[in-house]
């Protein structure tokens, strides 16, 4: 349990550091932050807003205010001119589910395709299938998400008109149309991921298949398919799991651009608009939210590690 406690403490520290970084972004803005955000405003308004943002107080106090507000769900405000306001939390509340949908679809697609591909490529290592799969994966990794998004958007969306090339429909409005709008974005994100995971799984699996216990399983008379999936897959997934964290980071980055290209109103689109409108307070909250989410995902993957490999579970418990 001591190891578990230490991990949680580490988690909290990292979350705090990351949140501080997000908070600190505002300080990096050149010139006067209030003017940058709001534009022209009367001296009175200027002072009021500066006070609202606690800019007249020492840095640590500012951070404290920001953090406590954040924890209580007050994610700041967007400023339309000196008097217009809007709540960031509302905007995020609308965009976050959309982004989560996009990434979830991409991940599901990735796992459904990458795992069988990787297993089969390892099983048939050296054959034409394997070579083609490898070459395709190599090319796919070199193709940026946004490039594929643009290509798909043009050829499938505009030329072939199979699905809309941009836009978003809420699932509660029209489920079929919802999926149609999400197909291309999810695919754009998934292809790069599939290539990365497939290669890793394949190489891990090839070395697992050389292990003695695979020969042992075979000698029990168990069919190859069962040996592959029941005996070889689980030990081979460790390396894949290790890089899953990094890959999800790439997924998030890709999602931001893909959302903008396809006009999906998710966090990426929100960030894009915020940058354009110089809504730095909003940017702070969005970045903080994304970063903290990412930290939690990594933490969860770490836990998963022990679940997949019981040796690690025991080694950790012994610490």
Partner 1 sequence: MVATITNLTPGGPPVVPDESLTYVVPRTKRIGIGGWLAIGWLVIMMLGIIILPFVLHNPSSAGTLASKGIFKVPGHPLGGDGNGNDMLLELAKGGRNSLIVAVGAVLFGLIFGGSLGLIAGYFRGKLDTGLTSIFNVLLAIPQFVLALSLVSVLAANGVNSQGAPQPATFTRRLVVLVIALGIVSIPILARITRANSLQWSQREFVLAARAQGASNLRIMWREILPNVAPAMFSIALLGIAVAMVAEGGLSILGAGVQGGYSWGNIIATGRGQFQTTPHIVFEPVVCIFLTVLSINYVGDIVRARFDVRESTL
Partner 2 sequence: MSPRKKERADRFADAPLDVPLLEVENISTGFKTPRGVVHAVDGVSFSLERGKTLGIVGESGCGKSVLSRSIMGLLPNNVVRGGSVKFQGHELGAADASEMRAYWGTQMSMVFQDPMTSLNPVMRIGKQITESLRYHLDISKDYANETALTLLQSVGIPEAERRLRDYPHQLSGGMRQRVMIAIALACGPKLLFADEPTTALDVTVQAQILDLLQAQQRERFMAMILVTHDLGVVAGRADDIAVMYAGKIVEKAPARTLFTQMRHPYTEALLKSIPKLNLPSHTRLESIPGRPPDLLNPPKGCKFAARCPYAQERCFQEEPPLEDHGSPGHEFACFYPVGTPEGDEAYARNRAAGVAAAADPTNAGETTPTPTTATVGETT
Identify residues 170-229 at the interface with partner 1 (CB under 8 A). 209-212, 214-215, 218, 224, 227-228
Q: Angle at the Cα of 90 (from 85 to 95), degrees rounded to 5?
A: 125
202-231 residues near partner 2, rule: CB under 8 A: 211-213, 215-224, 226, 230-231
Task: Using alpha carbons, select from 312, 315, 301, 309 the residue that is nearest to residue 11.
Answer: 301
- Interface with partner 1 includes 305 (CB under 8 A)? no
d(CA 113, CA 160): 24
Of 294, 301, 302, 309, the one binding partner 1 by CB under 8 A: 294
Of 164, 185, 254, 266, the one binding partner 1 by CB under 8 A: 254
Residue with tokens 């999400």: 182
Minimum CB separation of residue 172 from partner 1 in Å reads: 29
Q: Which uninterrupted H or E stretch holds 28?
A: helix 2-28
Instruction: Spell out, one character per residue from 109 to 128, where the chain touches partner 1: x when CB under 8 A holds, - when not.
Output: --------------xxxxx-
Pick 21 or 174: Cβ nearer partner 1: 21
Q: Which two tokens stand for residue 198?
A: 């497939």
- Interface with partner 2 includes 32 (CB under 8 A)? no
Residue 45 interacts with which of partner 1, partner 2, none, CB < 5 to 8 Å by class? none
- Using CB under 8 A as the binding criterion, the count of chain residues that bind partner 1 stands at 71
Pick 130 or 211: Cβ nearer partner 2: 211
Pick 21 or 307: Cβ nearer partner 1: 21
- Interface with partner 1 includes 36 (CB under 8 A)? yes
Residue with tokens 């989560």: 100
Q: Are strands 77-80 and 84-87 parallel, antiparallel or unpaired?
A: antiparallel
Question: CB neighbours of 73 closer than 8 A, spacing ≥ 6?
Answer: 89
Residue 123 interacts with which of partner 2, partner 1, none, CB < 5 to 8 Å by class? partner 1
Q: Which two tokens stand for residue 227?
A: 């040996």
Pick 234 or 317: Cβ nearer partner 1: 234
CA torsion, ordered 228, 229, 232, 235, to nearest 10 deg: 170
Pick 153 or 181: Cβ nearer partner 1: 153
Q: Which two tokens stand for residue 77?
A: 């405000």
Minimum CB separation of residue 5 from partner 1 in Å reads: 18
Beta bridge partners of 79: 85
Minimum CB separation of residue 309 from partner 2 in Å reads: 6
d(CA 252, CA 314): 33
d(CA 90, CA 269): 15
* C-beta separation of 168 from 105 below 8 A: no
The residues binding partner 2 (CB under 8 A) are 211-213, 215-224, 226, 230-231, 234-235, 308-311, 314
């Amino acid at each position: 349990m001591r190891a578990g406690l230490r991990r949680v403490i580490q988690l909290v520290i990292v979350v705090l550091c990351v949140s501080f970084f997000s908070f600190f972004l505002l300080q990096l803005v050149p010139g006067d932050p209030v003017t940058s955000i709001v534009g022209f405003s009367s001296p009175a308004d200027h002072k009021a807003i500066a006070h609202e943002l606690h800019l007249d107080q020492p840095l640590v106090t500012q951070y404290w205010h920001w953090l406590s507000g954040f924890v209580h769900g007050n994610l700041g405000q967007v400023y339309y001119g000196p008097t217009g306001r809007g709540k960031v939390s509302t905007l995020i509340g609308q965009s976050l589910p959309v982004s989560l949908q996009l990434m979830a679809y991409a991940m599901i697609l990735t796992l459904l395709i990458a795992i069988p591909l990787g297993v089969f490529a390892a099983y048939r290592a050296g054959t034409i299938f394997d070579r083609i799969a490898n070459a395709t994966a190599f090319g796919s990794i070199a193709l940026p998400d946004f490039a594929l998004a643009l290509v798909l958007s043009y050829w499938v969306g505009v030329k072939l008109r199979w699905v809309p090339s941009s836009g978003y429909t809420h699932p509660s409005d029209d489920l079929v149309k919802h999926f149609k709008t999400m197909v291309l974005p999810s695919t754009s994100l998934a292809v790069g991921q599939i290539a990365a995971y497939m290669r890793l799984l394949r190489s891990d699996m090839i070395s697992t298949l050389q292990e003695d216990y695979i020969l042992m399983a075979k000698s029990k008379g168990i069919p190859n398919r069962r040996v592959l999936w029941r005996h070889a897959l689980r030990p081979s997934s460790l390396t894949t799991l290790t890089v899953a964290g990094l890959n999800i980071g790439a997924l998030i980055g890709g999602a931001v651009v893909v959302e903008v290209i396809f006009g999906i109103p998710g966090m990426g689109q929100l960030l894009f608009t915020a940058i354009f409108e110089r809504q730095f307070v909003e940017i702070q909250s969005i970045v903080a939210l994304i970063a903290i989410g990412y930290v939690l995902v990594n933490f969860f993957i770490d836990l998963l590690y022990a679940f997949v490999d019981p040796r690690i579970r025991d080694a950790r418990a012994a610490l």
